[in-house]
């Protein structure tokens, strides 16, 4: 186990070093949610009271959605850097070392989750600055759920990258997945204000429960059933994505 953790941390440190050499990516990744926060948040202010959600504060409503969005979509792009490395022979060189092949994935996920954590802190900090009210315990829980979901998406993205080995496949797949997730998860507006059929459709969107859970957490309602369901979904998605990712990395002929 220590050996495994050591292998993961070698991979992690290498990735982190390369990321720190190019810190612009952390900021570019956070730019989109920050723009939503600053330019879309004000539009919600007069509306949020009529949503019938747990809060009347536009930012307490919006920041959790943006956080999950950041976790999902930021992580979806993690695979692109893996393709670049694969093309230069790095992955193959690592696969010929005795290091556990799943450690090659896990080390990279540590980097993705750390990057997400930094971005989440920036977003939450900005949220407080523009007037968000949130219970600290609930925010911590919300961030943890976000990290779990982000880890899941990063694992899936890395797995997809290693299976497809092509940005030309990755980009459309990520796009096709992203649009319905964005529209059916209630990230920008709550699904509850939609028509009944739309709500029914969104019931089949796992990420919706995650958004609801983080939102309840931020609103201070830590013990709600939505939090329980969202956490459950986050754990399930994470387990599923890790299983897929690990099996792709371990596969003999990748």
Partner 1 sequence: MIEARGLVQTFRTGRGKEKKDVHAVRGVHLDVGKGEVLGFLGPNGAGKTTTLRMLTTLLRPTAGTARVAGYDVATQPVDVRRSIGYCSQVGSTFSGAYAGDEVVDHGMLYGMSRRAAVAKGHELFEMLQLDGLWKRMPKNMSGGQKRRLDVAMALVHSPGLVFLDEPTTGLDPQARANLWSHIEALRSEQGVTVFLTTHYLDEADALADRIVIIDRGEIVASDTADELKASVAGDLVALEVASDDQVSPARERLARLSDDVEVAGRRVSGRVARAGKAVPGLLRELEGACVSLESIEVVRPTLDDVFLTLTGRSLRDADAPSLEGEKQ
Provide the binding-site residues for partner 1, judged by CB under 8 A: 3, 6-7, 10-11, 13-14, 17-18, 21-22, 84-85, 87-90, 92-99, 165, 252-253
Distance in Å, CB of 18 to partner 1, minimum: 6
Distance in Å, CB of 104 to partner 1, minimum: 9
Q: Of 17 and 236, which has the nearer Cβ to partner 1?
A: 17
Q: Of 90 and 232, which has the nearer Cβ to partner 1?
A: 90
Q: Of 93 and 129, which has the nearer Cβ to partner 1?
A: 93
Q: Of 25 and 243, which has the nearer Cβ to partner 1?
A: 25
CA nearest neighbour of 135 among 60, 38, 49: 60
Distance in Å, CB of 162 to partner 1, minimum: 11
Distance in Å, CB of 11 to partner 1, minimum: 8
Spatial separation of the C-alpha atoms in residues 31 and 36, rounded to whole Å? 9
- Which alpha helices (H) appear in 21-77, and where do they start and end? 24-35, 41-44, 58-69, 75-76
Distance in Å, CB of 10 to partner 1, minimum: 5
Let me know: does 245 contact 105? Beta carbons within 8 Å.
yes
Let me know: does 138 contact 217? Beta carbons within 8 Å.
yes
Q: What are phi and psi of 202, to 5 degrees?
A: -70, -15
Q: What are phi and psi of 16, to 5 degrees?
A: -60, -40
Q: Of 45 and 165, which has the nearer Cβ to partner 1?
A: 165
Let me know: does 41 contact 59? Beta carbons within 8 Å.
yes
């Amino acid at each position: 186990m220590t050996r495994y953790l050591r292998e993961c941390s070698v991979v992690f440190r290498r990735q982190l070093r390369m990321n720190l050499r190019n810190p612009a990516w952390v900021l570019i990744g956070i730019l989109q949610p920050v723009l939503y926060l600053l330019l879309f948040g004000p539009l919600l202010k007069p509306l949020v009271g009529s949503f019938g959600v747990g809060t009347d504060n536009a930012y307490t409503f919006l920041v959790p959605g943006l956080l999950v969005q950041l976790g999902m979509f930021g992580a979806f792009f993690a695979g692109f850097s893996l393709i670049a490395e694969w093309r230069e022979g790095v992955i193959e060189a690592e696969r010929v070392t005795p290091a556990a092949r799943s450690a090659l994935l896990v080390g990279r996920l540590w980097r993705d989750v750390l990057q997400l954590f930094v971005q989440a802190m920036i977003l939450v900090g900005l949220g407080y600055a523009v007037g968000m009210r949130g219970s600290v315990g609930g925010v911590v829980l919300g961030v943890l759920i976000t990290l779990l979901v982000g880890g899941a998406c990063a694992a899936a993205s890395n797995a997809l990258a290693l299976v497809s080995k092509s940005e030309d496949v990755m980009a459309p797949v990520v796009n096709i997945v992203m649009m319905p997730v964005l529209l059916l998860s209630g990230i920008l507006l709550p699904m509850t204000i939609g028509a009944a059929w739309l709500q029914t459709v969104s019931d089949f969107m796992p990420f919706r429960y995650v958004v609801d859970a983080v939102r309840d957490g931020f609103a201070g309602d830590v013990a709600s059933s939505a939090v329980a369901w969202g956490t459950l979904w986050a754990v399930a998605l994470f387990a599923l994505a890790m299983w897929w990712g690990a099996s792709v990395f371990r596969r003999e002929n990748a």
